[in-house]
A and B are shown apart, each in its own frame.
Chain A
Amino acid sequence: MRSLAPWLLAGVVLLLGNTAQAGLQLRLKTEGLNPAQQQASQALLDEAMQALPPRFIEQLDRRIDVGWTDDMPSNAYGQASLVSELDLNRNLLASLTDGSAASKKTYRPHGTVRREMLATVLHELTHIYDRSRLWPDAERGLIQRCTRRSSSSGLVGIPDECRGQPARRFTLSDDPRLLDLAGWPQYVGRRGEREQYNRQIARSPDIYETSSPKEFVAVNMEYFLLDPSYACRRPALYRYYKEHFGWAPPAKDTCGKSFAFLNAGNDFAKQPLGQVDPERVYAVDYLLAEANQNWVSRWGHSMLRLVICAPGRPRGPDCRLDLDQHLVLSYRAFVGDVQLSSWDGLVGKYPSRLFVLPLAQVIDEYTKTELRSLASVPLNLSRNEIEGVVEHAAEMHWSYDGNYFFLSNNCAVEGLKLLRSGTNNAKLVGLDNIMPNGLLEVLKGRGLADTSVLDDPREALRLGYRFDSFRDRYQAMFDVLKKHLPIKQDKVEDWLALKAEERRPWIEQADLRTSAALLLLEQAAFRQQLVLAQDEVKQRYLGARELKNGGMDKANATLQQILANSGFLSRPAELLGTGGYGLPQPNEWQRLESESSLRQKQLQVLTGDLDKEVRALLEPSRAAEMAANEANLKQVGEHLRKLHKAAGGLELP
């Protein structure tokens, strides 16, 4: 027994020695190279070897011959053969050898020509690694299991964890998780089949990455290995690579804690640039606007609500009422009521973008303008998942420019993709649903959404799980009015159809309670007038444009300027230069701030001009009615304050 130990030890040493020797070797093809060229080439290869992850070198156990060739398009850097050869463009050899490549700028994120060459070697090696099916053991086991399952039971019968796993052929580029992050999400309703086109096209370091998942993997590997800011610019992908290799490059920037976003709120007087600190996000809610008769809205609209705590408030349920802090993530096509073409919607002509909006604006839009109610249902997500959703939303905000198909790629689908990619929650992976209301049911069914908050409607309203349509409120207000004043009208519609001047005499007779009702009803009347005015002006605008009759020229010109100036709010990447990619970093912040506030100021001036010009387009009778309506509103307000003061009510400081 005793004599066995040294033998065992020797065996272990031998084994270790073997693994140390095995692994990737890059051999320079020296034929035709002078000593200086050989030396410069070898230095490049050595540097590449040093940049590679240990697992990469260990697993890609082979010799790869690297040579210089003329047989390549002049603008290409290099290419790899299928298995064990790598060619570099001979055009570049001279500048590598004399050292000028190290200082020659490329105006791409890598910076210099030499850096591009280094990136090329890493890129091409990654292709070989990707093709070599070098899965970690657990993943290999999963793939085998899933392949067996799918050949015996077919795609319909496979468990969720097997989605996208059967018959995988690449180490990285057909991994479902990678495809989620990279921008080739699952088609809904097709059992894991992937979308063909990548729409994460803004703020790309190299748009070539979107040409295929294989290129995506190779391009991102360049940045993972060479760019210390990669972890901050593409945090989710950074973690993906880090996890796969069990290693990350030692050089890494310290990332900011919060994410920048452009607030697309409609208040032009406010600086649109904002920040979300994931630490302050207490919960993520599924926010669903109920359907109405309009066909576009027939399935409702689904959004996500970020329940953000006020500064200084510890994360907890109290944050639910910090309503002024909450933000809504909403994928929107451009949808206006009358002009919307259903055909264009169905064929995906409307761009789909991720907008970040203040909650209060969204509530007003739906409950007061569209008269639809909203339900806000908390999602059961872990702390990590919540932060993942916020992070992914920020990434999509800056990079995504999609097509909006009402049926197959609507808000529910986009929202599902965002949740799936952001959380990587197993329960979401196998979810196939394309309708907003249906999605909520499915989320509930899988225990991901807690709809019990809606069980008691009064509590739900009080705590902000439900925001009721003002249609119901206007009716309730009218009932109060009817009870307290001897008005003749029996229906709220009839009351609102009266002229403002006919309603006015009642204001002075109202007590406090009735005045409050009158106030909301005057608001309802005003909104109604707005809708009518919008329609009239639109008709006149269309007519005037056809006739070129001068009246619209000035307004039209201003309008074009506004268009040109406001696009940035929905395409935030336009504000930044081409130097950076992914999430904006501190050195890009200043530019972001100055650019956005500059454009904001221009917008404010322009909208002021337009106000004057378009006001002139109103029918005189419409303008008079609106003015009278505004006067009523003012009078009710004054009447209310008078009553309040007379009753000795509390005055807020």
Chain B
Amino acid sequence: MRSPLIIATLGLLLLADVTQAHTLVATSNILINATRRTLDFTSDTTTSIRDSKIVREAHDDAASFVASDGDIRGAHLEAAINLLRTRVPEARDASDQVLAEAILAL
């Protein structure tokens, strides 16, 4: 959750500077649309399953799944469910709904 807004803003700030156009082109590509950082919980610094990138990136898909009663089932969720079933013993026989709720509650 570090510094979400500002990086995003930066992308547009950069745009304004015409004289910097060249470098700007370079930079803006990494800065623009960086809004992802705002709502992004991803981290791959630890090894625990709840912190794994696959599981973290499934958060929004899990929310959609739970809210839509299983109707919206995105690939990120599918990947996370597969991972949990292979890595976590108590997840092996759990239903998709249970796993989606578990991911959502992280």
Contact = CB atoms under 8 A, between A and B. Distances in A.
Contacts, number: 234
If over half of B's interface residues share one DSSP class (helix, strand or loop), that class is named, otherwise mixed; here it is: helix
Nearest to A472: B72
A1 interface: no
Given A562-B27, A652-B49, A473 B64 contact: yes
A323 B8 contact: no
A271 B38 CA distance: 20
Interface stretch (A16-24, A42-50, A221-229, A534-542): A534-542
Contacts of A361: 36
How many interface residues does chain B have, given as a range? 35 or more
Contact of B105 (A264, A564, A567, A640): A640
Contact of B75 (A334, A462, A476, A534): A462
A523 B105 contact: no
B18 to A, nearest CB: 9
Contact of A334 (B13, B28, B44): B28
B6 A611 contact: yes
- Of the candidates B48, B64, B67, B104, the one having the most CB atoms from chain A within 10 angstroms of its own CB is B67
A96 interface: no
Nearest to B41: A637
A533 B7 CA distance: 12
B6 A614 contact: yes
Nearest to B75: A464
A256 interface: no
Interface in A329-355: 332-334, 336, 338-339, 349-351, 353, 355
Interface stretch (A54-62, A126-134, A161-169, A364-372): A364-372
Interface in B54-89: 54-55, 57, 60, 62-64, 66-69, 71-76, 78-79, 82, 84, 88
A514 B33 contact: no
B6 A480 contact: no
Contacts of A323: 54, 57, 75-76, 79
Given A334-B29, A464-B75, A534-B9, A653 B60 contact: no
Interface in B6-46: 6-17, 20-40, 42, 44
Given A355-B29, A610-B10, A611-B6, A321 B101 contact: no
A199 to B, nearest CB: 15
Nearest to B62: A516
A538 B66 contact: no
A257 interface: no
A560 B22 CA distance: 12
Given A542-B16, A649-B101, A651-B102, A611 B75 contact: no
Interface in A458-496: 458, 461-464, 467-468, 473, 476-477, 480
Interface of B: 3-17, 20-40, 42, 44, 48-50, 53-55, 57, 60, 62-64, 66-69, 71-76, 78-79, 82, 84, 88, 90-91, 94, 98-99, 101-106
Interface of A: 264-267, 321-324, 332-334, 336, 338-339, 349-351, 353, 355, 360-361, 364-365, 368-370, 458, 461-464, 467-468, 473, 476-477, 480, 512-514, 516-517, 519-520, 523, 526-527, 530, 533-535, 537-538, 541-542, 545, 555, 559-560, 562-564, 566-571, 607-608, 610-611, 614-615, 618, 626, 633, 640-641, 644-645, 649-653
24 contacts: A324-B53, A336-B11, A336-B15, A339-B16, A353-B29, A360-B42, A370-B33, A476-B72, A526-B39, A534-B8, A538-B9, A559-B14, A563-B14, A563-B24, A566-B26, A569-B27, A570-B27, A607-B6, A611-B7, A640-B104, A644-B102, A644-B104, A650-B90, A652-B55
